[in-house]
Amino acid sequence: MQKQAVFKVNGAVLIIAGAGSGKTTVLVNRIANLIRFGNAFHDEQSRELSAADEQFLQDFPDMEKTSENIERLSRIIAVNPVNPWNILAITFTNKAAGELKDRLFQMLGEDADKINASTFHSACVKILRREIEKLGFRAGFTIYDDDDSKRLIKDVMKQCNIDEKITGVKVFRNNISRLKDRMISPESFAKTAQEGGEMIDLKTAEVYANYQKALSSANAVDFDDIIYLTVKLFENFPDVLEHYRNLYKYIMVDEYQDTNFAQYRLISLLAGDNGNLCVVGDDDQSIYRFRGATIENILSFEKQYRNCTVVRLEQNYRSTTNILDAANAVIKNNAQRKPKKLWSELGEGEKLSVMKYPNEQSEGKGVADIIADAVENGAKYSDFAILYRSNALSRTFETALARSAIPYKIVGGLRFFDRKEIKDILSYLALINNPYDAVRFRRIINEPKRGIGDTTVEEIIRISEGLGISPLDVCRDASRFETLSRKTNVLKAAANLFDELDELSDSLKLDEFIDAVAEKTGYIQMLKTQGDEGAARMENISELKSNALELLKEQPDAALPDFLEQAALQSDIDSYDAETDRVSLMTMHSAKGLEFPVVFIVAAEDNVFPSIMSINSASDMEEERRLAYVAITRAKKKLYITHTGYRLLYGHTSANRLSTFVREIPEEYCEIKEEKPKNNFARGMSFARPVQKSFLKEQSEKMKSAAAINTAAGEHFEVGDRVRHKVFGEGTVTEVKPVGGDAIITINFDTKGVKPVMKNNARMEKI
């Protein structure tokens, strides 16, 4: 099936790629085949060969596959090979695009650099950089992230006299985002709102119109604009569309089930009616409807392209049969899907462990204990992932892991680029690149303090928007404006600072320029006064320089706009690093595209997962079921599913039954365990089903060994004591710090380095 997908070159192709079915391998090989051999596989024409070429073909299977030999093979057998620059390969994350480029480079060498393999947004930014002036913007526009957009909407709401306490900024941000996803302009929505008369629609229309004006004045676009404006460009300028159709003759789109209407429209315009369009996706993994994704795009592909070829990839190369059978059993309950069934040759594997705990604290401790035991027996921390429905559930597991001294990382938490010091430095860089950027001007013109108050800043913005000049131009000519004349000296000094930095931007490398900005603005001096916190922030700024150096390695001629673009287009998953040996904590949404040997799906209870908001809606339940399918198929070897008798969440204690989705899994694929309150047998674990004698014997042996190494709750530890920890081995106590009824014990372990442990939960003994 993979071969069918690779060798089908021309026309529309729909590849239904189940979880773990090797879709990236298919994409890479399909692109390589296009470039090396074109349509040779399906070519039936006879050709004359020289004796030397005929001998080469006979000998080729046994030859070393050097680039020279492959190039000669291509010269002999290729039929209409495709130029690499005529290929557009679209992914959803920079991480996926990076993996695609790396694997293409391994196969194709320098030709890989000529392929446009990028995210939707990166591909569109390249187009807008060249064409955006046709839409009334200036060159060198700024890209606003979500935080920037919210700040601007907040300003617009003040201008419109809309009380933030009655209608929050997030409501308008989400409404505007969905409107852009559906390609609805401010003018069009204003008419709809007037006809409908709904108050929230009327307010949204007002905010939307003024927000777009403010973006235009700042020469900025938000994240949704990147695709929205590219579609507008193609719709309004046929010559531009024709240029890019001729450039991108072969288009491939990954994760097609996650596309929204604007992305669908973009691809449809580029491909044309008879384009060579290959889309890859899995309707069973469509989990982003809340972001505007439209599952109908993949479900209706065959109707849009009547003669398309459909290839189903159902063999899974990741997970064991028990895990896949469980996933198949859950997802088959969805009505809105294309039929398929994952299968594997990796063997039956372990059953799923469905584990019930009395409450969330025992659930967290139970998960931590399982991980600690496995690491003690040779596993790595990075083998484990804890997946939850919402971020609010992470706290319990963070606490439990910390108490057991288990290192962990939260994927999808505070992004590096969202840290205050990073946003501040990036705002300086953005304002140097685009002096009309009012949002970034507001953020840093008085950071560090320069005696420029909020009232003065607002007056500068008012004048700049009224005259159509940049805020920095207003500062430069402050003496001309009566309302600013008293601040002439400080405002001119600020403008002079930016003039100096602007000059330096042309002569310094990116990393050197970041240093210059941080020093000359006084930002580093400010951080030096903030003690340890300031030192940590300076380290983050140094890491920003590392980002710049990495970009320069990839693109030696990269300039400031390229760096700002890269920072703006980073997503949560791009920060995931599989090499660090830590347990991963993340939402199920963030886990898409990742895989782990062992996965915990926690808080698997009705009203939590599926959420209480979804239970009474058939379409919402199907979306949540797809999320369950994604979560289950992240596991390669072992899947734990946990739930509790009672759970404290959002300030309320509730008793929820086991998740609907778990109840849809046949019992033959599961083993069911339950921890009974106040029951210390086998550390509180006893089966709800009949227990085999072999298990009882095993637990008896564990109880005997547990007598040697138990929790240290009753022990007394002093500096200099030698201890043996169940996970970290032997070490020496270097500090004991009482905390409430517990204590933090710092230990210098012989082989694991210095680690703090909580005394009452540390499984260790004196030696």
Active site residues: 23-24, 254-255, 285, 634
Pairing of strands 729-739, 722-725: antiparallel
Contacts of 659 (CB under 8 A, 6+ apart): 604, 605, 606, 608, 609, 610, 628, 641, 643
How far is residue 314 from each of residues 29, 327, 400, 565, measured CA to CA in Å? 18, 13, 38, 37
Helices within 218-356 (DSSP H only): 223-236, 238-247, 261-271, 296-299, 301-304, 321-331
How far is residue 449 from each of residues 104, 445, 521, 539, 603, measured CA to CA in Å? 49, 8, 10, 22, 47
What token pair was written down for 52? 């030397």
How far is residue 138 from each of residues 561, 565, 764, measured CA to CA in Å? 14, 16, 65
Give the Cα separation of 361 and 253 in Å (integer).
44
Give the Cα separation of 254 and 279 in Å (integer).
6
Give the Cα separation of 164 and 152 in Å (integer).
13
Q: Name the maximum alpha-carbon separation found in the chain.
A: 91
Q: Which amino acid is at 671?
A: E
Residue closest to 24 by CA, chosen among 103, 128, 135, 82: 103
N-term to C-term CA, the chain: 60
User: 253 with 218: CB under 8 angstroms?
Assistant: no
Give the Cα separation of 481 and 488 in Å (integer).
9
User: 261 with 268: CB under 8 angstroms?
Assistant: no
Helices within 633-720 (DSSP H only): 660-663, 693-706
Contacts of 433 (CB under 8 A, 6+ apart): 140, 142, 560, 561, 564
What token pair was written down for 700? 């008896």
> What secondary structure letter does DSSP report for 337?
S
User: 144 with 439: CB under 8 angstroms?
Assistant: yes
Residue closest to 12 by CA, chosen among 209, 352, 221, 276: 276
For residue 602, give the 3-state DSSP assignment.
coil
Q: Which amino acid is at 185?
A: S
Supply φ then ψ for residue 537, to 5 degrees.
-70, -35
Strand partners, 121: none
Q: Quick one: 612 exposed, middle or buried, by C-beta within 10 A (0-12, 13-18, 19+)? A: exposed
User: 178 with 197: CB under 8 angstroms?
Assistant: no
**Sheet of 87-91: strands edge to edge?**
116-119, 87-91, 250-253, 276-281, 13-17, 309-313
Q: How many CB atoms lie within 10 A of CB 663?
A: 13
Chain centroid to Cα 410, Å, comes to 12
Contacts of 133 (CB under 8 A, 6+ apart): 139
> What secondary structure letter does DSSP report for 707?
T
**Sheet of 764-766: strands edge to edge?**
753-758, 742-749, 729-739, 722-725, 764-766
Give the Cα separation of 565 and 145 in Å (integer).
11
Place of tokens 């063999």: 315
